[in-house]
Amino acid sequence: MQKISRRQFLSLCAGAVVLGGGWVLARGRILPELRDRTAAALGRGRVTYLRQIVAQDNAAARTIMWQSPASLVAPAVELTRGEVAETQRFPAEEEAFTEDGVTVYLYTAQVTGLERGARYRYRVAAGEERGGWTPLQADDGGAFRALIFPDSQSSDYAGWRELAQMARQRNPDARFFINMGDLVDNGEDHTQWNAWLDGVEGIIDTIPIAPLMGNHETYDKQWQVREPVAYLREFALPGNGSKEYDRRYYSFDYGPVHFLVLDTQQGEEQERHPHITEAQEAWFRSDVQRTRQPWKVVLMHKDPLQYRIHGRPERGEGFSEEGKLWMPLFDAAGIDLVLSAHLHTYRNRGHIKGFERSAEGPLYILTGVAGDVRYPGLWVDHALDEVVAPQPETDNYLTLDADEDMLIVRCFLPDGTQIDEAAVKKT
């Protein structure tokens, strides 16, 4: 694929007409043949980046978000089922958000009272205006497939867009998707957030996302650590019972799986939030004890293993600080699968317990890279690595298939070639 610069890519995005859920979400000029359709929707460019966010219980609820360059009158989400004309209305909260010198209005609506497994359509409403309908399906509690994208941070998000769109085309039955942290390269750069969201248009509005916060979400434009301001506002995630640490870590259920999403940025956060480690540990213990789901899966950005680096003999092989902290808790909690990221390489480590290979421990998979930031020839293979992506590595994505009896993780190259498969079975 011929590469273009980030500036060229963003220029193309700004001039494009984006179609989402049957209505125009335009940030640039509008093609003449679409003017009537736009006028019948919610105005030109009035709604951008429509998105679904996972709820704690996705069989009963869903969070809908969008953005606008100007404040909307009486913003809401309307919901209908099948062809039924009657609609339910869910008011949206408005927040004016200024970042990187740009102000947008963020809207969040909590859609509740869904019927398990039911298929719905939703649309944005503002005053007397209405958008077009977009599909929304409630979790039925049964088997599902999810898409998993590793770090998507990029210098040019055209590759991210291509990977995400092709993965979705190959998996039209995917019920939601996960982004494993470092969604963007710089958390303060609003053009990168726009480019990331452009990459998943047509996906994120039709199925929900479960995002993780990575260390790059905590950087300002001078590459200094700061609060992850944009990330915490872009995604209205399930609550964790803490006002100070809200949206940094959370859990949710889908099908037979309970997902625990960790915040592994304690190093970046220690100065501002010195007690976050203890608070998150306590939350983890309490949360995992409450679940009655057959499967427990952990999603964490930073990897629990430590790799030697070519040319750096002083760095030993072993376990990272995150691994030393969390792996004993995973063992005690009976976690089935641990997915991590951060190192931009795909590695299947098999099952580990007590810091050594053991069939009784969780399956550990380092998910790889979905953006164009690569570390070729950097890592020395770890003794616990069972499968390593073909070298030199390109980007990749994964699927997770889950039912009552089995979890199956598969890893694919951008062209759809499968490079690994790992399963966890109930005994």
Residue 58 and residue 50: Cα distance in Å, rounded?
18
Domains of the chain: 6-137 (2.60.40.380), 144-425 (3.60.21.10)
Comparing 41-55, 204-218, 238-252, 259-273, the range with the smallest average pLDDT is 41-55
Position 297 scores a pLDDT of: 99
Write out the two tokens for 95. 């927040």
Q: Are 303 and 341 in contact (CB under 8 A)?
A: yes
240-269: pLDDT as tens digits:
999 999 999 999 999 999 999 999 998 899
Burial class (CB in 10 A: 0-12, 13-18, 19+), 180: buried
Residue type, 117: G
Per-residue pLDDT averaged across 22-30, rounded? 31
Question: Could you tell me the pLDDT band of residue 313, with boundaries at 50, 70 and 90?
Answer: confident
Checking if the pLDDT of 5 tops 50, the result is: no
Tokens of 422: 């790992």
Residue-wise pLDDT for 106-149, tens only, equals 999 999 999 999 999 999 999 999 999 999 999 999 999 999 99
Predicted local distance difference test score (pLDDT) of residue 144: 98
C-alpha of 326 from chain center:
21
Confidence band for 6, pLDDT divided at 50, 70 and 90? very low
Nearest-angstrom CA–CA distance, 411 and 180: 14
Examine the pLDDT at 156 and tell me if it is beyond 80. Answer: yes
pLDDT-derived band at 1, boundaries 50, 70, 90 = very low
Please give the pLDDT value at position 309.
Answer: 95
Largest alpha-carbon pair distance within the chain?
Answer: 68
Residue 43's pLDDT is: 62
Query: How would residue 10 be classed by pLDDT, with cut points 50, 70 and 90?
Result: very low
Residue 416 has pLDDT above 70, yes or no: yes
For the whole model, what pTM was predicted? 0.90
Burial 247-277 (b: 16+ CB within 10 A, else e): bbbbbbbbbbbbbbbbbbbbebbeeebeebe
The pLDDT of residue 42 is 73
pLDDT tens per residue across span 300-309: 999 999 999 9
pLDDT digits (tens, 9 = 90+) for 341-373: 999 999 999 999 999 999 999 999 999 999 999
Average pLDDT, the chain: 90
Task: Please give the average per-residue pLDDT across 387-406, as a whole number.
Answer: 97
pLDDT tens figures, 61-95: 999 999 999 999 999 999 999 766 689 999 999 99
pLDDT at 84: 62
Rg, Å, the chain Cα set: 21
Predicted confidence (pLDDT) at residue 24 exceeds the cutoff of 70 = no
